[in-house]
Amino acid sequence: MPRKKKKTISVLLADDHAILLDGLRALLEAEGDLKVVGRALNGEEAVRLSRQLRPDIAIVDIKMPVMNGIEATRRIRESSPSTLILILSAHVSAHYVDQALRAGAAGYVVKKSAGSELVKAVRTTIEGKRYLSTSLAGSMGQDPLASLTVRERDVLQLIADGKSNAAAASILRLSPRSVETYRARLMQKLGIEDLPTLVKFAIRHGMTTLE
Tens of pLDDT, residue by residue over 112-152, are 888 888 999 999 999 888 888 877 755 555 566 777 888 88
119 and 104 inside one domain: yes
104 and 192 inside one domain: no
Domain that holds residue 105: 9-141
pLDDT, mean of residues 26-41? 94
Residue 170 pLDDT class (50, 70, 90 cuts): very high
Residue 211 in this model has a pLDDT that exceeds 60 = no
Q: pLDDT for 46-61, tens place per residue?
A: 999 999 999 999 999 9
160 and 79 inside one domain: no
User: What pLDDT was estimated at residue 92?
Assistant: 76
Residue 208 in this model has a pLDDT that exceeds 70 = no
Number of domains composing the chain: 2
Domain final residue pick, 97, 115, 141: 141
160 and 77 inside one domain: no
Q: Which long-range contacts (CB under 8 A, 24 or more apart) does 121-128 make?
A: 121/86, 122/9, 122/11, 122/28, 122/34, 122/57, 122/59, 122/86, 125/57, 125/84, 125/86, 126/9, 126/56, 126/57, 126/84
78 and 21 inside one domain: yes
The CATH code of the domain that includes 71 is: 3.40.50.2300
pLDDT, mean of residues 158-182? 90
125 and 156 inside one domain: no
